């Protein structure tokens, strides 16, 4: 074994290393067959016009090939899950020994890191961002020990909206003893290259992306983890065999042919984000609009709880983040359509 594989192997839970994964007959069969009597499907088909009687490809090979081309990666660097939430769950299950290992998060940040870590029984070490939402490196170093397995870096960060500084991420990649998970759910809205272009340099890097945000496909549930092939092989080993439904796979394949359309919509959303960022501070109820690299704005208001209620009463739902660390009186507002943003400004104007 190479040093590299040794290092990564040492991070995996021993029961996962030893695990014999579920293998379907179709995983094992490599020739061409016309008669499939191996999986107890209904040979007569289902009640719908389209035939969904057969289990889908457990490795989503065609979709991975398209993603590999699109993201300039190799297929063995790609895991596809039912949303990137699945990848977060599997990373915990593969690398974090419940009751012994710990994970680091930098609140305020995406809530599912905490939920999944709690479900899993992992110790969570919270290193709160500084008031300007920059990471507190000394505190991260102090909170890290040999049992620190995952460091979740959300960039652009939800709910603060900003990318983490490149130099900081680099230092974490060089010094953190476990895996550095860079969650790029919103990276299509940011003017920065993806960390996935640095995978060859950093075997401890895992990049998460999703089709739920810029790609406008949240209902399909498609998320990706990009990492060293060894890490990807571990995630594939423990995922549900058929973790993506066939319609999801097929629609995601179709969508990837329409990157230009997606980029056009991103430009429109960024334009609207800038309009909101200019108009919101003119309102009496808004104290501050934080800079954003994402498709939402975090705003500090005069009274978040009441303002949230006021918006709800007018049929507008935003996210009240005012009880998160460093987010006193803050609401997180997704950039909507031109009409939705106009309505938002109008209703906020009547508060």
Ligand X SMILES: Cc1ncc(COP(=O)(O)O)c(C=O)c1O
Q: Cα separation of 295 and 274, whole Å?
A: 10
Do 222 and 60 touch, CB atoms closer than 8 A?
A: no
Do 347 and 310 touch, CB atoms closer than 8 A?
A: yes
154 binds ligand X (CB under 6 A): yes
Nearest to 175 by CA among 143, 206, 141, 216: 141
Give 122's DSSP letter: -
Q: Cα separation of 50 and 169, whole Å?
A: 46
183 binds ligand X (CB under 6 A): yes
- Does residue 255 sit in helix, strand or coil? helix
Q: How many residues line the site for ligand X (CB under 6 A)?
A: 12
Q: Which is nearer to ligand X, 85 or 324 (CB)?
A: 85
Q: Cα separation of 67 and 63, whole Å?
A: 6
60 binds ligand X (CB under 6 A): no
Part in contact with ligand X (CB under 6 A); list of ranges 31-39, 80-88, 130-138, 304-312: 80-88
**Helices (H) then strands (E): counts for the chain:** 13, 11
Part in contact with ligand X (CB under 6 A); list of ranges 81-89, 90-98, 228-236, 310-318: 81-89
Q: Which is nearer to ligand X, 13 or 292 (CB)?
A: 292
Residues in 106-145 at the binding interface with ligand X, rule: CB under 6 A: 110
Q: Which is nearer to ligand X, 1 or 317 (CB)?
A: 317
Q: Which residue is nearest to ligand X (CB)?
A: 83
225 binds ligand X (CB under 6 A): no
Residue labelled with tokens 């680091």: 104
Q: Which is nearer to ligand X, 8 or 294 (CB)?
A: 294
84 binds ligand X (CB under 6 A): yes
Please select the residue that binds ligand X; options are 77, 116, 148, 158, rule is CB under 6 A: 158
For 63-154, strand residue ranges (E) read 78-81, 102-105, 123-126, 148-154
Q: Cα separation of 39 and 241, whole Å?
A: 13
Q: Which is nearer to ligand X, 189 or 308 (CB)?
A: 189
How big is the chain, counted in residues?
351
161 binds ligand X (CB under 6 A): no
What is the pattern of x (binds ligand X, CB under 6 A) and - over residues 197-216? -------------x-x----
Q: Cα separation of 142 and 127, whole Å?
A: 10
Do 348 and 282 touch, CB atoms closer than 8 A?
A: no
- State in angstroms the smallest separation of the CB of 248 from ligand X: 12
Please select the residue that binds ligand X; options are 107, 108, 161, 223, rule is CB under 6 A: 223
Characterise 103 by phi-psi region: left (phi > 0), alpha (psi -120 to 50), beta (else). Answer: beta
Please select the residue that binds ligand X; options are 25, 218, 268, 284, rule is CB under 6 A: 218
- State in angstroms the smallest separation of the CB of 120 from ligand X: 17
Residues at the contact surface with ligand X, assessed by CB under 6 A: 83-85, 110, 154, 158, 183, 185, 210, 212, 218, 223
């Amino acid at each position: 074994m190479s040093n590299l594989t040794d290092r990564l192997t040492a991070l995996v839970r021993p029961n996962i290393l030893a695990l014999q994964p579920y293998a379907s007959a179709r995983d094992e069969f490599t020739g061409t067959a016309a008669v499939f009597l191996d999986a107890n499907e209904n040979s007569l088909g289902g009640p719908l016009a389209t035939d969904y009687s057969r289990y889908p490809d457990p490795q989503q090979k065609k979709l991975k090939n398209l993603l590999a081309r699109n993201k300039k990666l190799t297929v063995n660097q790609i895991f596809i899950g039912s949303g990137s939430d699945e990848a977060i769950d599997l990373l915990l299950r593969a690398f974090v020994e419940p009751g012994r290992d710990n994970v680091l998060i930098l609140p305020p940040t995406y809530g599912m890191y905490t939920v999944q870590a709690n479900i899993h029984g992992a110790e969570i070490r919270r290193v709160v961002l500084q008031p300007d939402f920059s990471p507190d490196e000394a505190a991260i170093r102090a909170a890290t020990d040999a049992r620190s397995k995952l460091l979740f870096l959300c960039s652009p960060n939800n709910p603060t909206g900003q990318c983490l500084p490149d130099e900081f991420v680099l230092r974490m990649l060089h010094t953190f003893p476990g895996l550095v998970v860079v969650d790029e759910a919103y990276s299509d809205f940011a003017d920065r290259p993806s960390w996935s272009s640095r995978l060859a340099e950093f075997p401890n890097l895992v990049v998460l992306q999703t089709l739920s945000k810029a790609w406008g496909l949240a209902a399909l549930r498609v998320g990706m983890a990009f990492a060293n092939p060894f890490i990807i092989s571990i995630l594939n080993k423990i995922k549900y065999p058929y973790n993506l439904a066939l319609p999801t796979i097929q629609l995601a394949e179709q969508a990837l042919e329409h990157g230009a359309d997606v980029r056009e919509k991103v430009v429109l959303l960024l334009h609207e984000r800038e309009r909101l960022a200019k108009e919101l501070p003119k309102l009496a109820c808004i104290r501050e609009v934080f800079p954003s690299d994402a498709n939402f704005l975090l705003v500090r208001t005069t009274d978040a709880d009441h303002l949230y209620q006021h918006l709800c009463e007018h049929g507008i739902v935003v996210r009240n983040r005012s009880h998160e660390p460093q987010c006193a009186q803050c609401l997180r507002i997704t950039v909507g359509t031109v009409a939705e943003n106009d309505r938002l400004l109008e209703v906020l104007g009547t508060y």
